[in-house]
Structure 1
Amino acid sequence: MILLVIFPAIIVVVASYECEGGKLTPTERKNIVTQINKYRSRLIRGKLKNKDGYLMPKGKNMLRMRWDCKLEKSAQNWANMCVFGHSPSSERRGIGENVYAYWSSGSVRDLKKTAGTDAGRLWWSELEKYYSDNPSNNLTSEVAMENILHFTQMAWGETYKLGSGVDHNIVMVARTLVFICHYFPGGNMVKDLIYELGNPCKHNKDCRTKRCSAKSGLCKK
């Protein structure tokens, strides 16, 4: 007698951090994604405080971020200009942008390895430095004026893709490193919720996308 046992196929999707023509390594890309997802997870689980010392409200339907090579290409194109400022919005419709620059009289080449997480840490620190208590969690025009728009873009609940670019140059006697992140869909829409209030997901049914990462409380798209 022959017993035939058939196991169901299990498909595992592995995130790719390989992008053709970029200046970041796969490890640097992965570190950037890991950092922002840890921040977003702690935020919606009510673990972080604003500048007034109040815990941020818990949230639901916060999407888990993933790397996007097209966004990396657009961010890299602007980083190559070595300009400390935003690219024309007409050239990145629907895409959000954060900009970071570092000046030094010494070499900035080695700083590239941690530029992404250094920038992310600085942008996210706006929460504790400048973000006033805002129970409604709406991005009002008053809130937008508090110097917190780098943080709110990183925390925007409906954003789920990002890509970054980096470059360095010598301007006069100063050496400059510029790091750019592009996000899709772009956030910071005045009068919209920064993220939806509620409880982080524990099961797939808790997510609008029907896919939950229970450990982080983030929804997958």
Structure 2
Amino acid sequence: AGCVNTCSSSITYREKKLSTMTNYQKVYKYRVVAPTVHNSSSFPLDSILRKMAGIIYLFVVALALSSVDADSYCQLNNCKGRPHTLCLYPSPKPANQCVAYKSASLTEEEKNEIRLLHNKLRNRVASGRETRGINGPQPAGYIPPLEWDEELAEIAQRWANQCTDGHDQCRNVERFPVGQNVGRKGWSNGYNAKVSEIVQAWYDEVENFDSQVVPSFRSSKKLTGHYTQLVWGETTRIGCGLMRYKRGAMFTVHLVCNYGPAGNWLDEPIYQTR
């Protein structure tokens, strides 16, 4: 399995157990899925449109999700023929592999928690206060705050509802290409994992990130792509989905976050430095 995107040629995912803690009652495991890396040189028109997305969006009225027809996503032609998630999975119900699921949505409190934590971490880097990483500290720069996007959240939730590994094949919207971070955390004695812990784990990849890559992004053998998408300067929108379900003996919290416009474009700046 792997993550596939309209702008990637070959994508794989790796499993990273950030921590395994065992005592008489509980065990937790954490898994992250490597995000998509995009090659903008192979898609020059898409790169131009992506840069314009922030301007175009000012003239776009957000769709009410209740009125969004799955067929409209089936007609989108921005993923090189790959089926869109909302077209491939038209039912909002959790998939059969979501064993004994508890919930298939984020609360308003959790949505706010995710957005605020993203912006707190983005601001930490933008202000030059992140000292970790190879050749740290990370350079200060312009990284705008993220706004919650219900369309991105709807797509993320639909993918989370499949209770599967990796990334969906197509999550793009008419406004822009969409990036994605996926992670899960589980305990053996209940749904104790918090969404903030998964987001923080994505950000903590900064420890492996070389600050000299900021002016021109390139992929790394070390797991850093969740961090770079999280702090990508041209990304301004976020929407996430959540599934709580049993995975073997583990009570699993599975988080999917979609970002627009997408980050992780090869040879482009992660953000503009000061």
TM-score normalised over the length of structure 1: 0.71
Aligned pairs (5 A) from 1:137-156 = 137-141=215-219, 144-156=220-232
Aligned pairs (5 A) from 1:19-34 = 23-34=105-116
Q: Deviations over 1:170-198 (max 9, x none)?
A: 23333322110000001000101000011
Q: Deviations over 1:29-53 (max 9, x none)?
A: 1111111111111111111023236
Q: Aligned to 1:97, which of 180, 186, 191? A: 180
Aligned pairs (5 A) from 1:50-199 = 50-52=132-134, 54-60=136-142, 62-88=143-169, 90-92=170-172, 94-108=177-191, 110-111=192-193, 114-115=194-195, 117-128=196-207, 130-134=208-212, 137-141=215-219, 144-198=220-274
Distance 1:195 1:25 in 2: 31
SS of the equivalent of 1:125 reads: helix
Contact 2:128–2:140 under 8 Å retained in 1: yes
Aligned twin of 2:40: none
Q: Does 1:37 align with 2:37?
A: no
Higher-Rg member (1/2): 1
Percent of residue pairs bearing the same amino acid type: 27
**Aligned AA (1:85):** G
Distance 1:78 1:48 in 2: 32
**Aligned AA (1:99):** V
Distance 2:132 2:124 in 1: 13
Sort the Cα spacing of 1:155 and 1:134 in 2 relative to 1 into closer, same or farther, 3 A: same
Aligned twin of 2:31: none
Distance 2:199 2:140 in 1: 21
Distance 1:91 1:33 in 2: 20
Distance 2:110 2:153 in 1: 12
Distance 1:37 1:55 in 2: 19
**Aligned AA (2:184):** A
Aligned twin of 2:130: 48
**Aligned AA (1:145):** K
**Aligned AA (2:269):** L
SS of the equivalent of 2:252 reads: strand
Sort the Cα spacing of 1:139 and 1:53 in 2 relative to 1 into closer, same or farther, 3 A: closer
**Aligned AA (2:212):** N
Q: What CA RMSD, in Å, does the superposition of the two structures yield over aligned residues?
A: 2.1
SS of the equivalent of 1:51 reads: coil
Sort the Cα spacing of 1:91 and 1:181 in 2 relative to 1 into closer, same or farther, 3 A: closer
Q: After TM superposition, which residue ranges in structure 1, 4 or more long, deviate above 6 angstroms? A: 19-22
Distance 1:140 1:155 in 2: 15
**Runs of 5+ unmatched residues, structure 2:** 1-64, 67-91, 93-103
**Runs of 5+ unmatched residues, structure 1:** 1-18, 199-221
Equivalenced residue count is 171
Sort the Cα spacing of 1:168 and 1:158 in 2 relative to 1 into closer, same or farther, 3 A: same
